[in-house]
Structure 1
Amino acid sequence: MAQIETDPSQPIRRGRGRRPAAEVREQVLAAAGELLLTEGMAGFTIEKVAARAGASRMTIYKWWPSRGALALDGYATKVRTVLEFPDTGNIEADLTAQVLAFTRLLTETGAGKVIAELIGASQTDPELASAFRERYSAPRRALAVERMNKAIEQGQLWEDVDPQVVVDQLWGACYHRLLIPDEPITEEFAKALVHNVLIGIKR
């Protein structure tokens, strides 16, 4: 089960004196992620994040141009360890593990609602759309592509496989069920999705 601990009732602990900028930034991101996963975009404000992190609004706006950009970075920070891409040497096992981790994140935590809200908000927020591509979707895509390229070199996948397309097939299907919930996101769905795609690409 994907575990993301959040407790918005507890302020972030701070020591005395002026904190290093890196520490302030880390605490702002932690506060943003916790607030976002507990209250969603509806309850997410710069003021609440600033109060929780013990930082000024001016400091936050110096690093993030909009509420949406901060929300996206907070989300990415919170889920980064959950979505780390494994490398066991078996591409089928690794893709299955990664897609399962993603589907569990969407269904067992507040992340599913949050990512849907961020995608929706990015349609009218250029700053958020840019942040989503540069800081979340592109880095996550790169991890999957790198892992599949390695599998191609090892002879586990066909040489003419396009990893970029496979990413869209696997994760795109998950996003489709998230945003158009005609069918549920389940572990059975995730496993069948990887199995069906690998029929065409695995050597």
Structure 2
Amino acid sequence: MSRADPPAPPALKPGRGRRPAEDVRRAVLAAAAELLLAEGMPGMTFAKIAASAGVSRMTLYKWWSSPGSLAFEAYFTVFEETLAFPDTGDIRRDLTAQLHSFVDLLRRNGPVIAGIFGAAQSDPDLAEALSTQYVRKRRRLAVDRLAAAQCAGQLRADADLETIVDQLWGACYHRLLMPAQPLDTDFADRLLANLFSGVAAPREQPDG
């Protein structure tokens, strides 16, 4: 199983007794993730998810305000490991590993991810979850790793870490949403090459 592929949903079978809430929630998230990757945001309905997970629609309404908010949590839960940021002590190696993993995720599930961002424009609950639970947390992880590298002398002391995040991950999202050029690991490597070498031409030294 690829790290970018979700696990099969552990559908809950009807039976006597109250099932543990944790098991129910896990089954719902797995079912939602499978449906999300198969049909995209248009296929994300509480009726379909409930049927796949073996729960009632009322259970979903109790925990999630909209199919969009459920879709986001399912996406993040399944791909949390893929989106994790390694720390081997070598910032270039870690950035390369993370960007390669991220690009692979975008290539495999681009329409789904674009659909989540698109749905957030008209779903306030999804937009809030996306901002607080994904975007800000992801930025913080990246900035913290870059700050550690800065303290270790691997990045310039005056480097703008927030802007580096935009330059690297923002560029990948740009190619996902505006696919005029290929989004692949070669592109990620070129982004890093530009970052670490700089793109300004060397200044000419005055004679004498």
TM-score, normalised to structure 1, is 0.90
Which residue identity is paired with 1:4? D
Aligned length: 197
What does the per-residue CA deviation read over 1:33-79, in whole Å, with 9 as the maximum and x for residues that have no partner?
A: 11101111121211111111122211111111111111111111111
Native 8 Å contact 1:24 1:55 kept in 2 = yes
Distance 1:84 1:164 in 2: 18
Identity, % of aligned positions:
52
Distance 1:162 1:63 in 2: 39
Distance 1:21 1:80 in 2: 21
Shift of 1:160: 1.8
Query: CA, structure 1 residues 199+15, in 2 after alignment: closer, same or farther (shift >3 Å)?
Result: farther
2:129 to 109, 131, 134: 131
Shift of 1:162: 2.3
Shift of 1:2: 4.4
- What SS does the aligned partner of 1:188 have? helix
Which residue identity is paired with 1:139? K
Partner residue of 1:105?
105
Distance 1:165 1:27 in 2: 39
Partner residue of 2:203?
none
Partner residue of 1:4?
5
Distance 1:191 1:62 in 2: 44
Which residue identity is paired with 1:132? L
Partner residue of 1:18?
18
Native 8 Å contact 1:35 1:49 kept in 2 = yes
Whether 2:89 is the aligned partner of 1:89: answer yes
Native 8 Å contact 1:2 1:104 kept in 2 = no
Native 8 Å contact 1:6 1:37 kept in 2 = no
Partner residue of 1:33?
33
Q: CA RMSD in A?
A: 1.9
Which residue identity is paired with 2:79? V
Distance 1:94 1:5 in 2: 24
Partner residue of 1:119?
117
Shift of 1:199: 2.4
Contiguous gaps of at least 5 residues in structure 2 = 199-208
Shift of 1:191: 0.6
Distance 1:11 1:164 in 2: 39
Greater gyration radius: 2
Distance 2:47 2:10 in 1: 14
Distance 1:73 1:5 in 2: 13
Whether 2:181 is the aligned partner of 1:183: answer yes
Shift of 1:3: 3.6
Which residue identity is paired with 1:104? D
Contiguous gaps of at least 5 residues in structure 1 = none
Shift of 1:15: 7.8
- What SS does the aligned partner of 1:155 have? coil
- What SS does the aligned partner of 2:83 have? coil
